[in-house]
Structures are given as structure tokens and as C-alpha cells.
């Protein structure tokens, strides 16, 4: 059965799901998006995802032409129509069709697309044994250029960092901020463990506040694990006892090598494994 894509209030076959070449989302990356998970037939952390979507849109002065509850209902309908009980959702809002000029005033109506599909970012064995990553030369957006807290369609700096990772035969890359401190990876938030304490960069460090990141912080509290949001430097990553990443697509995945340096003893650490198990139990519940 062909996947059905929700586009501006209508379902179309995947092969027919097309946007205009004059859409400013295509021409200029002008728009916002969310990546969400469905577990056991339920949209995971829906409230937080939709809150971030609408805040991102507001920050770029884009008015989404649907109320959050209407988009939530459309999202539910999309994955159910495609007979998914566990899947990945990509919901995107573009500025809409305009002309070849930059001005968004020429775009009459924003366009909204909801895709439900399967996703596998990393090989299964990396979740068990950990993965190698590098530090990219490309930094996160300067907050005075475009706030990294906006989940925009313009991911070019992340893509360039991802290319560096691929060149190094690694699946991910750490991105630093304009001050040289640790921000996040190209698509994942960063956590390290040192002396039994979990650390993760703050919003001041140029991160996108990940929903899975939020859940892991809550799980730390629930399981009596100390978790501190703190500015980190590359040195902290190099000397960490444990290291893991979080993201809606990636979920929770351990890192066992960075820039050629082995993390801990080279295998996923006990706190990382405990939190991975806690996350899986949480989503199943």
C-alpha cells in the first residue's frame, strides 16, 4: 500500500506529494518542522512537540493556519491511516508559495505537510556497542543570526558538519558554539557522565531543546541520578566516563569514541545503559 501524506488538509499518495518550486520552504529553507515518534499507537510527548513547533513558527513570524489540536488530530489520523503503531512523524510548515524574491509578504498561505514513515538513523549494533563521533569544524548558528532554539527548515550548517562526520567514517559530529563550547551534535543532544553525575549543555550553549533530552533529564530525577545542565568544553567530552546522545530519531544511543579518543573503557557505561533501559520502559508504558 502506498503511503498517504497529509498535505494542507488532504491525503495524497506518496508519489503525488509534491510542493511548488516557488514554495519558499524549497527556495530559501523558510519554515519550521518537528520530528516525532509514535509508540504503541500514541504520539510521544505530543504537547512538548507542538509547543516547540508553534514557538519556532512564532519566532520566525510564521502563522500556522491550524490550531494545535487540529494538527494533533491530523497527525493521529495520518499514522493510523497508514496502519502504523510505531513510527516516525515529520511535520513541516513552509512559508508557502511566493515568487523568486526573498519577501515572505508575497507568500499568501503557509503550507503544512505531515509524513508518517519508518526511520532507522543508526545500525542496531551501535545501540549495543556504542558509536564513534568527531568534532566538526562547522559551528552551530550564532544566536544573533538565527536562534538555534528554532527548529527551522534551514539545516545547512548541520548538514556540513554531517558531511565531515561521513568523511571521517563516523555517523555523528559534535558541533561547538561561537564561543568554542560544546553545543550539540548535528541531530542529537549531548550527555556525558563524570564521577556518577550526568551533564548536558544548557540552552545558552546554542542547543535545540530536544524533547527526548527533556525526557532523559526527567528519568534521571526519577531514578535518583544527579543530572546537571552545564556549559561543557571539548576537554570534558574527552575525559568523560560515559557519553550518550538523545533525539527523537536516534532515541538514546551511547558514544564510545570521540576524535579518536576512547570514552571510558570503550563500552557503554552503567548509567548510560540504565537510562537507555529506563527510556525504553518509559515509551512502552
Catalytic residues: 151
Cα separation, 233 vs 235, in Å, equals: 5
* Terminal Cα-to-Cα distance of the chain (whole angstroms): 30
Half-sphere exposure of 83 (CA within 13 A, CB side): 3
Q: Beta-carbon neighbour count of residue 104 at 10 Å?
A: 16
Q: Where are the beta strands (DSSP E) in 109-158?
A: 111-117, 131-135
| Separation CA 91–CA 229 (nearest Å) | 29
**Pairwise CA distance, residues 9 & 17, whole Å:** 13
In 3D space, the residue among 19, 42, 166, 157 whose CA is nearest the CA of residue 94 turns out to be 19
Residues 6+ apart with CB under 8 A from 159: 186
**How big is the chain, counted in residues?**
285
**Measured at the alpha carbon of residue 104, what is the angle toward residues 100 and 107, in degrees to the nearest 5?**
75
In what order do the strands lie in the sheet containing 4-7? 10-13, 4-7, 111-117, 87-94, 31-39, 42-43
Amino acid at each position: 500500500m502506498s503511503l498517504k501524506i497529509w498535505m494542507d488538509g488532504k491525503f495524497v499518495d506518496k508519489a503525488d506529494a509534491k510542493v511548488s518550486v516557488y514554495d519558499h520552504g524549497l527556495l530559501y529553507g523558510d519554515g519550521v518542522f518537528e520530528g516525532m515518534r509514535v509508540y504503541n499507537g500514541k504520539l510521544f510527548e505530543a504537547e512538548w512537540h507542538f509547543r516547540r513547533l508553534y514557538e519556532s513558527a512564532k519566532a520566525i513570524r510564521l502563522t500556522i493556519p491550524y490550531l494545535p489540536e487540529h494538527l494533533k488530530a491530523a497527525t493521529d489520523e495520518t499514522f493510523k491511516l497508514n496502519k502504523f503503531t510505531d513510527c516516525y512523524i515529520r511535520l513541516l510548515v513552509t512559508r508557502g508559495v511566493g515568487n523568486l524574491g526573498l519577501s515572505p509578504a508575497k507568500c499568501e498561505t503557509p503550507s503544512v505537510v505531515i509524513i508518517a514513515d519508518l526511520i532507522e538513523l543508526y545500525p542496531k549494533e551501535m545501540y549495543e556497542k556504542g558509536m564513534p563521533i568527531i568534532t566538526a569544524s562547522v559551528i552551530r548558528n550564532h544566536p544573533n543570526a538565527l536562534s538555534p532554539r528554532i527548529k527551522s527548515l534551514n539545516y545547512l550548517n548541520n548538514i556540513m558538519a554531517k558531511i565531515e562526520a561521513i568523511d571521517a567514517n563516523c555517523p555523528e559530529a559534535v558541533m561547538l558554539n561561537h564561543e568554542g563550547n560544546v553545543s550539540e551534535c548535528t541531530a542529537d543532544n549531548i550527555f556525558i557522565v563524570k564521577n556518577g553525575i550526568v551533564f548536558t549543555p544548557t540552552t545558552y550553549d546554542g542547543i535545540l531543546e530536544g524533547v527526548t533530552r527533556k525526557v532523559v533529564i526527567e528519568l534521571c530525577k526519577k531514578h535518583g541520578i544527579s543530572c546537571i545542565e552545564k556549559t561543557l568544553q571539548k576537554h570534558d567530552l574527552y575525559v568523560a566516563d560515559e557519553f550518550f546522545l538523545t533525539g527523537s530519531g536516534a532515541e538514546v544511543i551511547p558514544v564510545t569514541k570521540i576524535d579518536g579518543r576512547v570514552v571510558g573503557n570503550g563500552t557503554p557505561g552503567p548509567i548510560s545503559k540504565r537510562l537507555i533501559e529506563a527510556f525504553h520502559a518509559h515509551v512502552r508504558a
